[in-house]
Structure 1
C-alpha cells in the first residue's frame, strides 16, 4: 500500500510522466504494485530516492509530506474501515495503532510493523514512543502524526527526540478554546 500511495501522490503532484520517470530511475520499469504484497525495503528506498531527485525536495521534507498524504490516502482507501475502527479521537486512535498494525500483520504475515506506545496523554500533550527495525523514517512518522492531528481536527505541532529506547514524538495540541479566543 505504501507504493500505491506513493504512486498516487507523485501523479497528483507531479504528473503521470514523473511517475514513469520515478520507476525508470528506480529501475522498476512498468512495476505495478499490488496491495497486501510485501516488497523489499530496497524497492521502497529506491522509489524514495527517485522521487526525491525528481521532486527536488529534501528527503526529510518529502517524507513529511508523504506521511501527511498517507493519512488521507489511507482514510479514503479500502483500509478506511479499519482506520475508522481505530477511534474517533486522536488519543484513542494513537493508543490503538499497535492493534491496527497487528490486524494488518494477520493478512500480511511477512510484514514488519513498527510499534507505537503512548507514554503520556495530559494537558494537550501526547508522547508516543516509536520503535522500528527500519531506520531513516522519523520524518515520515512526523508527517503521519501531523496528518492525524489534521484528520481529527486538532491544531498544534509535533516535535521529535531520539532516545536509547526509541524515538519519542510529542504532539502539542492547542486548546481549541484558547485558539478560538486568539482568533476573536
Structure 2
C-alpha cells in the first residue's frame, strides 16, 4: 500500500475524530507508534488493520468508512499530483484516464513491482460511466468514494445508479455525473 494513502488516512482520522484517535487506531491495529511516510510502501495489511480498527472504534460499516475516506482524500491527492492532470479535464475525462495516465504512472514511479488496483472507466452514455474495480484488495468502496471526490473536485455530482459484484473483489459501479448541487454524493462516515 502506498504510504501517501495511509498518511492521508491519518489526517482524515484526526480531522474526523481528533488527535488521540489515530494513536488509538494504531494501538488497536497492533501498530502502536508506527510512522507512515508518504513516499514509502507498506503491506496492504496495514491499511486493512487500521480500517478494521476504525470499524471497531466507530461502529461504522467498513465500506462506509472506505467510501467517505475515498471522497475525502481526492483534494490532497489532486494537489499533490496536479502536474499529471491536464487543465482542461472535467470529472468524466479524469475518471476515464485515471488508471492508465495517472494511477499506474504514480504508483509505478514509487515501486515498479507494485500491484495497484485496475480501474477501468468507460462512458456508457452522456454523463453515465461504468467504473470497474479489479484488485487483490477488497477496496471497491474506496474507489467509489474517490469517484465521488473527483466529481466534487470538478464541481459536479456523482450519483450511484447501480452496483454489481463480480467474482472475488471485482466490483462494477454505474455512476451518473451531473452539474454540482452542493450536496455530496456519498454518505459521511466516522
Q: When the two structures are superposed, what TM-score results if normalisation uses the length of structure 2?
A: 0.81
Q: Could you tell me how far 1:68 is from its partner in structure 2?
A: 0.6
With over 3 angstroms needed to count, the CA separation of the structure-2 counterparts of 1:26 and 1:127, relative to structure 1, is same
User: What is the SS of the residue equivalent to 1:96?
Assistant: helix
Unaligned runs of 5+ in 2: 182-190
Are positions 1:48 and 2:85 aligned together?
no
Q: Counterparts of 2:20 and 2:116 in 1: how far apart (Å)? A: 32
Q: What is the Cα-based RMSD across aligned positions, in Å?
A: 2.3
User: What is the SS of the residue equivalent to 1:68?
Assistant: helix
Flag the structure with larger Rg.
1
User: What is the SS of the residue equivalent to 1:113?
Assistant: coil
Q: Could you tell me how far 1:118 is from its partner in structure 2?
A: 2.7
Q: Counterparts of 1:172 and 1:11 in 2: how far apart (Å)? A: 31
Match of 1:61 in 2: 64
Q: When the two structures are superposed, what TM-score results if normalisation uses the length of structure 1?
A: 0.84
Q: Counterparts of 2:87 and 2:97 in 1: how far apart (Å)? A: 6
Unaligned runs of 5+ in 1: 180-184
Q: Assess if the C-alpha contact under 8 Å between 1:10 and 1:18 holds in 2.
A: yes
CA deviation map 1:84-116 (0-9, x unaligned): 348621121112212212211133223221112
Are positions 1:90 and 2:94 aligned together?
no
Q: Assess if the C-alpha contact under 8 Å between 2:95 and 2:147 holds in 1.
A: no
Q: Counterparts of 1:121 and 1:91 in 2: how far apart (Å)? A: 11
Q: Assess if the C-alpha contact under 8 Å between 2:131 and 2:174 holds in 1.
A: yes
Q: Say which is worse superposed, 100-109 or 31-40, in terms of deviation.
A: 100-109
CA deviation map 1:121-154 (0-9, x unaligned): 422211122211222x121111111111111122
Runs of 4+ in 1 over 6 A off after TM superposition: none
Q: Could you tell me how far 1:119 is from its partner in structure 2?
A: 2.8
Match of 1:112 among 115, 131, 155: 115
Equivalences, count: 174
Match of 2:75 in 1: 72
